[in-house]
């Protein structure tokens, strides 16, 4: 990552109006848990390009990384308002609602994610987890089976051990 940070730093120094450079450096800072630096870069990207969904999504990652699910919800929601076609944003929003124990909202987000990308394995396993937490064992097993059918060996094992017996 130090090489990537140096590259993006040089890029934004030479071209301070290049929004993608600010966003990409912000993403790189997220990967090394430098959240304050990431936030500053992502906000600069938004100053340069206010209606861009990607930096809002990445700010959601910043706050999720800081274990601040309420702020993460705010930014994932804004990202979705600007781009309703991003299955990752719905999935990540679902994860934050799950952390907040808002299982019905989490399930709705995962369902949206799956509607956009029907082979999104993580959305199926996350929705299964939320359904289980909300007491819907049958629904959880359906999602575990769907994940297994997509080729997830861990889900297949869990389905055989937990769901197939019931």
Tell me, yes or no, whether 145 lies in a domain. Answer: no
Average pLDDT of the residues in 126-150? 96
**Is residue 138, in this structure, part of any structural domain at all?**
no
**Angle made by CA atoms 50, 75, 35, in degrees to the nearest 5:** 95
CATH number at residue 20: 1.25.40.10
Q: Report the C-alpha gap between 106 and 151 in whole angstroms.
A: 23
The count of domains in the chain is 1
Tokens of 20: 């993608």
What is d(CA 89, CA 22) in angstroms, rounded to the nearest whole number?
Answer: 20
For residue 149 the two structure tokens come to 């059918």
* CB-neighbour burial class of residue 9 (10 A; exposed 0-12, middle 13-18, buried 19+): middle
> Quick check: is 24 in a domain?
yes
Residue 100 in any domain: the answer is: yes
Per the domain annotation, does 15 fall within a domain? Answer: yes
Residue 4 predicted with pLDDT over 60: yes
- The residue segments making up the domain with residue 113 are 2-119
Q: Is the pLDDT confidence value at 1 over 80?
A: no
In a domain, 148, yes or no: no
42 neighbors 62 (Cβ within 8 angstroms): yes
Q: How far apart are CA 59 and CA 22, in angstroms?
A: 12
Q: What are the pLDDT digits (tens) for 114-134? A: 999 999 999 999 999 999 999
| Position 14 in a domain | yes
Quote the pLDDT of residue 161. Answer: 87
């Amino acid at each position: 990552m130090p090489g990537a940070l140096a590259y993006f730093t040089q890029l934004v120094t030479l071209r301070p109006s290049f929004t993608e450079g600010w966003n990409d450096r912000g993403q790189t800072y997220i990967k090394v848990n430098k959240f304050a630096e990431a936030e500053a870069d992502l906000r600069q990207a938004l100053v340069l390009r206010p209606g861009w969904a990607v930096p809002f999504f990445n700010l959601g990652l910043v706050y999720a990384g800081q274990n601040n699910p309420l702020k993460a919800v705010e930014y994932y929601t804004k990202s979705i308002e600007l781009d309703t076609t991003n299955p990752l944003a719905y999935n990540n929003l679902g994860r934050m609602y799950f952390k907040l124990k808002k299982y019905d909202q989490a399930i709705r987000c995962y369902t949206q994610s799956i509607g956009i990308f029907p082979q999104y394995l993580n959305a199926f396993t996350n929705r299964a987890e939320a359904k289980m937490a909300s007491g819907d064992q049958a629904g959880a097993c359906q999602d575990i089976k769907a994940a297994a059918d997509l080729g997830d060996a861990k889900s297949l094992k869990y389905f055989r051990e937990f769901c197939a017996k019931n």
